[in-house]
Amino acid sequence: MAVDLQALYPKLIHLMLDTVFVVDKDNQIVFVSDACESLLGYLPNELIGTLITHYMHPDDLAATRDSIVRVMSGKPHIDFRNRYIRKDGGIVHILWSARWYEQERVRVGVARDVTDLMQAEEELRYLAHHDPLTKLTNRALFYDRLNLGLSTAHRYQSNLALLFLDINDFKGINDVHGHAAGDRVLCTVARRLEGCVRETDTVARMGGDEFTVLLTDIKSTTAVAEKVDQILTVLNEPLGAEFGEVKMPSCSIGVACYPADGEDADTLLSRADSHMYQIKRT
């Protein structure tokens, strides 16, 4: 018995896990497959006859309109991503494959939910540039921020300061109280450092018990000295009762300024590191 494929095609479309949209030249939805309920939370009959632009995230409207123009001019777009607002108010990230069919005067798009993929990509980007324990900027991103800061300082003839901080006798905390306690101290230092700087500055964990602080657009060396004093005062505050017998260790901070102490990242880091060890020895 021959299979009537023409009659079977619509049923196959509704079996697809991806959602199929058919939209006319005025952006009105004329057909949508059953998978739309999983994607956007709407039943097909709730979407048919409405404008597809109504469900787009407002921040993505301009880019989406550009993609629509491209598709309707005869250039298929098979890798376009944007965001839609679900019926429950949630946001879904969608990967589109779309094509305009001139004879039928409709745009057919296949929509795939890539929200989990986008979140995973974002998490990987975050982990690549941040310390997993303290959530601070890591060494690689700090180098990028430092080089960018140096370029900006050179362009605008401004100053910046690099602070290199080391926790004194941190090994003793790990040896006596355990590494879990040491990790909590590191996180406390990280949060206190963040509380001492502006949003335009950068705090990073370089590894172990070493931290760096990049202070941009510095007005004077006096301002740097005052910032170091502030940081030391905040870091010397006692730990909370939840730390038990663990005492807040002291810290040593070395300073290097651009352009007085160097004009490139490696020189400034070396100078600040050397200054820190001089202070630690004394």
Of 119, 148, 170, which residue sits at a domain end? 119
Q: Answer for the pair 212, 163: CB distance below 8 angstroms, yes or no.
A: yes
Total of domains in the chain: 2
Give burial (CB, 10 Å; 0-12/13-18/19+) of 210. Answer: middle
Q: What is the pLDDT of residue 37?
A: 95
99 and 49: one domain?
A: yes
Confidence of residue 5 (pLDDT cuts 50, 70, 90): low
Largest Cα–Cα separation, the chain = 95
Domain of residue 15, residue span: 5-119
Looking at the chain, which runs of residues are DSSP E strands?
19-24, 29-32, 77-85, 91-101, 106-113, 159-167, 202-207, 210-218, 251-258
**What percent of the chain has a predicted confidence (pLDDT) above 90?**
83
- Rounded to whole angstroms, how far apart are CA atoms 211 and 137? 10
Return all residues near 232 (Cβ < 8 A) that are at least 6 apart. 251, 253
Cα within 13 Å of Cα(47), Cβ side: 29
Question: What confidence tens digit (pLDDT) does each residue in 143-184 have?
Answer: 999 999 999 999 999 999 999 999 998 999 988 899 999 999
Output the pTM of the full model. 0.74
CATH of the domain at 210: 3.30.70.270
Q: Are residues 139 and 246 located together in one domain of the fold? A: yes
Q: How far apart are CA 279 and CA 282, in angstroms?
A: 5
Which tokens is 62 given? 């301009």
Same domain, 171 and 266: yes
The answer on 273 and 158 residing in a single domain is: yes
Cis peptide before 238 (omega within 30 of 0): no
User: What's the pLDDT tens digit per position in 42-68?
Assistant: 999 999 999 999 999 999 999 999 999
Asked if the structure places residue 244 within a domain, the reply is: yes
Q: What is the pLDDT of residue 241?
A: 85
Same domain, 32 and 103: yes
Q: What number of residues does the chain have?
A: 282
Tokens of 110: 């296949």
Q: What is the pLDDT of residue 240?
A: 87
Task: Check pLDDT > 70 for residue 30.
Answer: yes
Q: Are residues 201 and 266 in the same domain?
A: yes
77-128 per-position pLDDT tens digit = 999 999 999 999 999 999 999 999 999 999 999 999 999 999 999 999 999 9
Q: Which residues are catalytic?
A: 209
Q: What's the sign of the alpha-carbon dihedral 50, 55, 61, 66?
A: negative
Cα–Cα distance for residue pair 257/269, rounded to 1 Å: 10
Q: What is the CATH number of the domain that holds 37?
A: 3.30.450.20
pLDDT digits (tens, 9 = 90+) for 203-223: 999 999 999 999 998 888 889
DSSP strand pairing (106-113 vs 19-24): antiparallel
